[in-house]
Amino acid sequence: MGKNLVTKTPGMEALDQLFRIGNGPSSSHSMGPTRASEIFLARNEKAARFRVTLYGSLSATGRGHFTDQAITDILGADRTEIVWSDEVKPFHPNGMEFRSYDATDQLTDSWTVFSVGGGALAEEG
């Protein structure tokens, strides 16, 4: 997986990049977390549970923008813990850390990703 997950079209954005519809009042608070959840679930289909920590703006306003619902709709509300952190990551204010655990409660994967707007994602570095 590349470090920059933002799709770009030379000269102008593709129509599907310009006109996106998602849940909630903010694409960075719902579409980005939804997309990140889909990617993480595909990597960890057999996980027993997930823990997602939201940072910065996602944590501060995520409840009102349905960030937690966007994530649990994909990962499953019954097996996902949402953590609301006061920390702001220096790379971008919309940070998320995904963690998956197996049936013995051992960490199996982790991924820090940022929702940079319009449903686009980026990784630091």
Indicate whether 12 pLDDT > 50.
no
Average pLDDT over residues 59-79: 92
Indicate whether 79 pLDDT > 60.
yes
Indicate whether 92 pLDDT > 70.
yes
Average pLDDT over residues 26-31: 68
Q: What is the pLDDT of residue 111?
A: 98
Q: What is the pTM of this model?
A: 0.81
Q: How far apart are CA 94 and CA 33, in angstroms?
A: 9
Q: What is the pLDDT of residue 27?
A: 59
Q: How far apart are CA 6 and CA 120, in angstroms?
A: 5
